[in-house]
Chains A and B, each alone.
Chain A
């Protein structure tokens, strides 16, 4: 079982719709969770962090965490073509080791 799992996609969503990205993790002791966005040929950039069960909203982005199910998700509302990128789920394991999933490629269709 992979430490952090994501559906690699590609995921296609029409412009203006909600994009839903999912991630599961194996280490039940993990407490810190992050979503990074990576454009092709660029470095990852942090878009959301979440530490407690429930929802956390920041603009068009909502992160959701369910520690009992070991599941974290990212919702993007009113999707824009500029949201087209690879989204990486990351989980801190052990003493500050940040482990990434393989990423989900998202395409927003105008």
Chain B
């Protein structure tokens, strides 16, 4: 049973470009979470999704950021018109249900030049 798969592992973008981060949850998991982590800081909640639904996006910036978890395929975190402050590690986690443990992917390190 493969773990949570994130790609790419590293992503370099220039200011103003778009960044797309992908996350395939563990088999049987229908709950997906995205977190952002800046160096030497904790994990900041961004968004919680179930298949085809955004459950809680209270941690998402109002502009430029969006997330989806379609019926088929991976969850996507999309950042439009990236700025240097978007540089961070973005972690995806999945769980099989409410109040269940979260399992994390290896993360995507986004660097904005």
Which listed residue, B55, B91, B99, touches A44 by the CB 8 Å rule?
B91
Task: Return chain B residues, CB-CB under 8 Å to A95.
Answer: 55-56, 98
B66 on the interface (CB 8 Å rule)? no
Which listed residue, B45, B55, B58, B107, touches A98 by the CB 8 Å rule?
B45
Q: Which residues of A contact B (CB under 8 A)?
A: 6, 31-32, 34, 42-46, 49, 88, 92, 94-103
Cα A2 to Cα B48 with chains together (Å) = 20
Which listed residue, A42, A45, A103, touches B42 by the CB 8 Å rule?
A103
Which residue in chain B gives the minimum CB-CB distance to A46? B101
B6 to chain A, nearest CB (A): 9
Q: Name the interface residues of B92-113: CB closer than 8 Å to any CB of A.
A: 93, 98-99, 101-107
Assess whether A98 is in contact with B102, with CB atoms less than 8 Å apart: yes
Which listed residue, A31, A46, A94, A103, touches B102 by the CB 8 Å rule?
A46
The number of chain B residues with a CB under 8 A from chain A is: 23
B5 to chain A, nearest CB (A): 12
User: Contacts A44-B91, A46-B102; is A96 near B42 (CB within 8 Å)?
Assistant: no
A48 to chain B, nearest CB (A): 10
Cα A103 to Cα B22 with chains together (Å) = 26
Cα A45 to Cα B42 with chains together (Å) = 14
Cα A62 to Cα B49 with chains together (Å) = 32
Assess whether B42 is in contact with A100, with CB atoms less than 8 Å apart: yes
B69 on the interface (CB 8 Å rule)? no
Which listed residue, A44, A96, A99, touches B98 by the CB 8 Å rule?
A96
Task: Return chain A residues, CB-CB under 8 Å to B44.
Answer: 100
